[in-house]
Copies of this chain bind each other. A is one copy, B any other.
Amino acid sequence: MKAACIQMNISLCSKKENLERALSLAEEAVSKEAELLAFPEVFSTGFCYDHIAEVAETASGPTIGALCDFSKEYECILAGSMIEQRVGAEFNSEMNIPPQFNLGFCIESGKLVGIHRKTQLYGLEKEYFALGEDIHPIRLKKYDLSMGLMVCNEIRYPEVSRKLALEGADLLVSASDMPDFYIYPWRIMSLSRAIENQLPHIACNRAGNDRFSTYPGRSFIADGWGRILAEAGSEECALIGEIDLEKIKEIRQTGSIIEDRRPEIY
């Protein structure tokens, strides 16, 4: 299966422009036969804190709608993250919880087939986003596969990908917004998540810059040995890599890490 990282430059708070850019790069990817496309974290807005209530949408809003249309037209899978407006956030009993989630989404054949709300927030995010409470892989019908979707800072917690692997994930996808100073640790940990779970990893990071930082891309697609199948530089691009679905099981059966775990002593 051909996978793609849509390593895009994100224009802060410019939702229309970002969505157009994302879909333009996605068209390039599907024209090269990519069937599973990953976008960076909060791809449609960046961390638009100053206008976060205005740019937030529900999962039935126009952004997911546009992605579903694209997915239906090109019969492909789309995964990434966006700023979600929390339903019920107006309740008084929830006043101390921010009215947004960082929503990981997965769309297949024109439908939203799964979500994953970011569970490990970093720095300022804690003021603007509520914490996701569940970690489960997302089932993809067409390929009879489960996707373990992670959002940015979650990569620093091996617990997250481990939970996904233990619940049957067949591949990992991560959507990141990693700045230049953290790109080396991000790359090491992202590769380690593939190796220690013996799963392919489609790791999509952002390119370009905004008023907060510079984002040096370096998105990659790796197999379950952590071998790089495709890797981007720092420029905006649609990175394409071929994942051998037959080999996923084969790699996991080689001295199985998962089977030999000893949760009773950790």
Which A residues are closer than 8 A to B by beta carbons?
A: 119-123, 131, 133-135, 156-160, 162-163, 184-185, 188-189, 191-192, 195-196, 225-227, 255, 257, 260-263, 265-266
CA distance A171 to B189 in the complex (A): 18
CB-CB nearest in chain B for A126: B260
* Chain B residues, Cβ within 8 Å of A226: 184-185, 188
* Chain B residues, Cβ within 8 Å of A131: 262
On whether the beta carbons of B123 and A159 are closer than 8 Å, the reply is: no
On whether the beta carbons of B195 and A262 are closer than 8 Å, the reply is: no
On whether the beta carbons of B266 and A163 are closer than 8 Å, the reply is: yes
CB-CB nearest in chain B for A187: B188
* Chain B residues, Cβ within 8 Å of A184: 225-227
* Chain B residues, Cβ within 8 Å of A196: 156-158, 189, 192
Expressed in whole angstroms, the minimum distance between the Cβ of A120 and any Cβ of chain B is 6
Expressed in whole angstroms, the minimum distance between the Cβ of A137 and any Cβ of chain B is 14
* Chain B residues, Cβ within 8 Å of A119: 262, 265
Which of A157, A163, A188, A225 has the most B CB atoms < 10 Å from its CB?
A188
Expressed in whole angstroms, the minimum distance between the Cβ of A154 and any Cβ of chain B is 10
CA distance A190 to B147 in the complex (A): 26
